[in-house]
Amino acid sequence: NVTGVVSVARDIRELKEKELNLEASRNMLRVLAARRDSAREEERKRIAREIHDELGQMLTAFRLDVATLKFEHGTKDPAIAQRCQKLIEMTDQTIQVVRNIASALRPASLDMGMSAALEWLANEFQIRTGVECRLHIGPSLDGFTEEQSTAVFRIVQESLTNVARYAQARQVEISLRETAEGYAMTIKDDGKGFDPDGVRGRSFGLVGIRERALMLGGDVRIDSRPGEGTAVEVVIPFPHGGRRLAA
């Protein structure tokens, strides 16, 4: 039946076309997401700098004035000395809060290279959660572009947030090393684990991790089972493809 064959051929062609269109829109979405992310990072950087510089300077000036006040009038009146001291302590605390907010938005260490940024993150996490956080970074890992370091940083940040929220872990280990295919990064906890197939489409953390890795031309594997901890494994190809030249 010739008409039948022709119509099946047409159906297949239409299906193929639809598949290609779908693939094209997926890629377009990915490009849009990448652009939105980098705009957001720029904005964070700007806000962090402003909070840090402007607020920081004003608070420092304020602190100096109170210290002067205490020096000039405190000896005559111990109550004034005490009030001034209290104000100085409150200002110090506020300066610390401002620093923390700025760092959370955009760690200054991110501009000092990958290792410094990850050390800051691991240390911060350990202090905040009490979960032991070990960091193994292979040598010569500072050849990351800014786009790469930001993506790696945000991936580790989201993974650690998940560990803090859900894992009930005692320990988490972050490792980053060079392999033949590119950089390999693992964030592994010894917590309660989960079924990765069971969470599809409900939340954005793991999806975001995957998108960031794909944007860099890499890939992600979530290795977890209830009762067996979780490992997030990311492979990031070297920039410009191929092997990185020895430094």
* Contacts with 11 (C-beta within 8 Å, 6 or more apart), sequence order: none
Q: How far is the CB of 99 from ligand ATP (least distance, A)?
A: 25
Q: What is the DSSP letter of 37?
A: H
Looking at the DSSP bridge assignments, the partners of residue 71 are none
Strand (E) or helix (H) holding 241: none
Q: Which C-beta is closer to Mg ion: that of 150 or that of 162?
A: 162
Structure tokens at 92: 């110090």
Using the rule CB under 6 A, which residue among 136, 203, 228, 243 binds ligand ATP?
A: 203
CA dihedral 146, 156, 103, 149 (to 10 degrees): -10
With binding defined as CB under 5 A, does residue 157 bind Mg ion? Answer: no
Residue range at the interface with Mg ion (CB under 5 A); choices 54-62, 99-107, 126-134, 156-164: 156-164
Q: What are phi and psi of 149, to 5 degrees?
A: -65, -40
Residue range at the interface with Mg ion (CB under 5 A); choices 33-41, 80-88, 135-143, 158-166: 158-166
With binding defined as CB under 6 A, does residue 110 bind ligand ATP? Answer: no
Contact 211, 201 (CB under 8 A): no
With binding defined as CB under 5 A, does residue 205 bind Mg ion? Answer: yes
- Sequence length of the chain is 247
Residue range at the interface with Mg ion (CB under 5 A); choices 29-37, 59-67, 147-155, 205-213: 205-213
Phi-psi region of 106 (alpha: psi -120 to 50; beta: other; left: phi over 0): beta
Interatomic CA distance for residues 117 and 149, integer angstroms? 9
Q: Which C-beta is closer to ligand ATP: that of 191 or that of 218?
A: 191
Interatomic CA distance for residues 82 and 239, integer angstroms? 58
x/- site string to ligand ATP, residues 63 to 102, per CB under 6 A? ----------------------------------------
Q: How far is the CB of 237 from Mg ion (least distance, A)?
A: 25
With binding defined as CB under 6 A, does residue 166 bind ligand ATP? Answer: yes
Using the rule CB under 6 A, which residue among 117, 189, 218, 235 binds ligand ATP?
A: 189
Cite the DSSP H helix spans in the chain. 2-50, 56-73, 78-105, 114-129, 146-162, 205-215
Q: How far is the CB of 128 from Mg ion (least distance, A)?
A: 16
With binding defined as CB under 5 A, does residue 230 bind Mg ion? Answer: no
With binding defined as CB under 5 A, does residue 56 bind Mg ion? Answer: no
Q: Which residues bind ligand ATP (CB under 6 A)?
A: 162-163, 166-167, 189, 191-194, 199, 203-206, 230
Q: Which residues bind Mg ion (CB under 5 A)?
A: 162, 205
